[in-house]
Structures are given as C-alpha cells and as structure tokens.
Amino acid sequence: MTSRPRQQKAFAGAAVLASALCCAAPAFAQNASQLFYERTVMSAADSRYRLFDRPTSSALQAGAAQARGAALRAGMTTKQLASATESFNAQTRSAVPQDLLAASHKSGWMLRFSAEAADALAELDPCEAVAVHFLFAGREGDSVRRAYVKVGDFAAGRAFLRAVEP
C-alpha cells in the first residue's frame, strides 16, 4: 500500500510530465512534419535520380510512412501534410538584372515558378517557411543545398502587385 505523501508526489510528477508534454506537442508536431517532409523529399529525389540501392529506398519509404503517422498523431492534418510535400520546379532561370542585386553582389540567378506554385505559397500561413532545394551537378556527383525561406504575407504582396498591373 502506498502512503499519501508518495501518492501526492506521484500525482505532482504526473502533472509536471503532462504539462511538459502539452507544451512540447506543438514543437513535436513541427519536428514530426519536418521529418516527414525530409523523408518524402528524399524519396522523391531517389525516385527521380535513383540515388539509393533498393534496400535503402525501401527503408526510406518506410521511414516516410512512419514519419507521416507520427505527424498525424502529433496533431498535423492530412491537408497540412499534403501541402508540406508539394514541390515545384523552376520554369525558367535567368541572370538577375544589376539594379536588383545587393550592392555587395556582382551576379545572381532569378528563378521563375508557375502560377500553381504561387497559389500554393499564397495558401500558406505567413509564419510558415518553405524549403528551397538547389541541385548542383558536379564532377564528383550532385550536391543539394537547402535554404529555408519564410513565406511572410505572400498573398497580400501578390494582391498589391496585381493592383498595379497595367
């Protein structure tokens, strides 16, 4: 039989643990969705470029399925997960005009994306970020660089630009 002080300590410990889990749930959901996104992107890259052998590809796909389940259990919706995995390729690439470059830069690239990609960005929460993956082909194999870009109020900016179109 447990004593009353022991029960109170156990209850207090459970309360602290429960509050810690409640506070950690949003962070876990974000980590779970990030893990799902990363595994899904790697699976898609593997499907397109055959980066891995069959056992590794299978393990990556299984990991993506597990990460999806973890993200759903952490509170993400299927719509959020679907938007987390949308990807778009640039339609065109061109040199950045000199008047648009930062003073410290001599050159740069401008990428244009489809209207569908812009629509997808406009649907995101301004607090969300998107990952932009740059694929560089090299003599020793391809490398990928990733940059996270905060969406900001993309929809509002887009509406202002449309207001001044001729």
Taking only the tens place, the pLDDT of each residue in 103-131 is: 898 998 888 888 888 888 888 878 777 88
pTM of the model: 0.49
pLDDT for 30 = 53
The mean of the pLDDT values for the chain is 75
Over the stretch 26-69, which tens digit does the pLDDT of each residue have?
444 457 777 787 777 777 777 777 778 888 888 888 888 888 88
In sequence order, the β-bridge partners of residue 134 are 145
Please give the structure tokens belonging to residue 116: 């569908």
Rg for the chain, CA atoms, rounded: 22
| Helix residue ranges per DSSP H, the chain | 4-49, 54-73, 78-84, 115-122, 154-163
pLDDT confidence of residue 84: 66
